[in-house]
Amino acid sequence: MRLDDMDTSDVEVDDQRGSGRGGFGFPMGGGGLPLGRQMGCGTLALVIIIALVFGVNPMRILGGDMAPTPTQIAPQSEASAAGKGCDTDAASKFSCQTLKSTTLTWSRLFPDGQYHPPHIAFYTGGGQSGCGAAQSAMGPFYCPADEGVYLDTDFYGELTQRFGAAGDFAQAYVIAHEVGHHVQKLTGVADKVQAAQQSASRAQANRLQVAMELQADCYAGVWAAQNRERMEPGDVEEGLRAAHQIGDDVLQKASQGVVVPESFTHGSAEQRMNWLKKGLESGDPAQCDTFGR
């Protein structure tokens, strides 16, 4: 994906790196919402997956970075400076450029003026989100409470370092997927699903969760399709491969040796690939009705 001409000067960034706002010893008032409120698409799983996809040693990712950064009382610069934090390193730059690209795309796809972008938050090791503490092991996630896409840049740094700077489609796909959850918030689907889950059985709640995740996959595909001229040979395959590797069945098989479909929260490899493909082929969010079928 070629995104290097994206102007990131108006991307709203919450750069928590080096701010002393570590997620462990320094909770922001009230301690935030229960983790369940987050759309945890990443979780530990994602770290392992990326490891599978790219051959990074998961212990390397989970190792040092997991240690809480010592927290000191530091002035809390809550104000998100537009564009500031995007230029810190190649990983942040590419993340901001991807986010900017999704903003342009979804602004086109939503009725006039109905779309506003999420902000992007960078942290290392631990950070704070409106949904509670952010930890690297959770992988990238979207917090609906503060409309933020949270990324541990050490994790991305690792990817970037290993696979060359900007241009990694799998990395962009992950961000586009999180933005997909933001779209679900704006369309009201996220609230509806959450309400339905309150009175649902565990299995039904899981099915709804899977439908949410698959729709976010499909939306990621829609974003890519809307930017087809920027795609490079191999991008589709790379995206599909990533979607396959983060299928619940593949992950469960790898972690526990058996597959328990009732406990799926993200969908099987086949489902994830199919919905991403559906978005990629149609470029049409209306094709992403993962709830109806």
Which helix (DSSP H) or strand (DSSP E) does residue 207 occupy?
helix 202-225
**Interacting residues of 30 by C-beta distance below 8 A, sequence separation 6+:** none
One symbol per residue from 251 to 280: x for binding Zn ion (CB under 5 A), - otherwise; what is it? ------------------------------
Shortest spacing between CB 13 and Zn ion, in angstroms: 21
What number of residues does the chain have? 293
Query: Is 211 near Zn ion (CB under 5 A)?
Result: no
Choose between 15 and 213: whose C-beta lies nearer to Zn ion.
Answer: 213
Task: Say which residue the tokens 């699903």 belong to.
Answer: 193
Contacts of 108 (CB under 8 A, 6+ apart): 226
Q: Which two tokens stand for residue 19?
A: 């701010």
Distance, in Å, from the CA atom of 120 to the CA atom of 116, rounded to the nearest integer, reads: 13
Residue 190: C-alpha distances to residues 91, 144, 163, 212 (Å): 29, 9, 34, 8
Residues 142-181 close enough to bind Zn ion by CB under 5 A: none
| CB of 77 or CB of 187, closer to Zn ion | 187
Three-class DSSP category at 112: coil
Contacts (CB under 5 A) with Zn ion, residues 12-71: 41
Q: Which of 3, 216, 220, 225 binds Zn ion (CB under 5 A)?
A: 216
Closest CA to 100 of 227, 279, 286, 283: 227
* Closest separation in Å from C-beta 39 to Zn ion: 5
Stretch that binds Zn ion, among 44-52, 211-219, 246-254, 276-284 (CB under 5 A): 211-219
Specify the stretch interacting with Zn ion by CB under 5 A; choose among 30-38, 194-202, 213-221, 238-246: 213-221
Shorter beta-carbon distance to Zn ion: residue 86 or 143: 143
Task: Give 15 or 217: the residue with its C-beta nearer to Zn ion.
Answer: 217
Smallest distance from Zn ion to CB 184, Å: 9
Q: Could you tell me the smallest distance in angstroms from the CB atom of residue 134 to Zn ion?
A: 15
Nearer to Zn ion, 6 or 216 (CB): 216
Give me the residue label for tokens 């961000």.
175
CB 130 within 8 A of CB 146: yes
Q: CB-based contacts of 274: which residues, under 8 Å, 6+ apart?
A: none
- Nearest residue to Zn ion, by Cβ distance, number only: 41
Task: Count the Cβ atoms, other than its own, within 10 Å of residue 6.
Answer: 20
Both structure tokens of 164: 């060359």
**Beta carbon nearer to Zn ion, 48 or 86:** 48
Shortest distance (Å) from residue 192 CB to Zn ion: 17
Give bridge partners of residue 151 from the DSSP assignment. Answer: 122
**Shortest gap between Cβ of 141 and Zn ion (angstroms)?**
8
Report in angstroms how near the CB of residue 181 gets to Zn ion at its nearest: 6
Least distance in angstroms from the C-beta of 177 to Zn ion: 6
Name the amino acid, one letter, at 237: E
Nearer to Zn ion, 41 or 47 (CB): 41
CB closer to Zn ion out of 97 and 290: 290
- The radius of gyration computed from the CA coordinates of the chain, to the nearest angstrom, equals 18
Q: Which residues bind Zn ion (CB under 5 A)?
A: 41, 213, 216
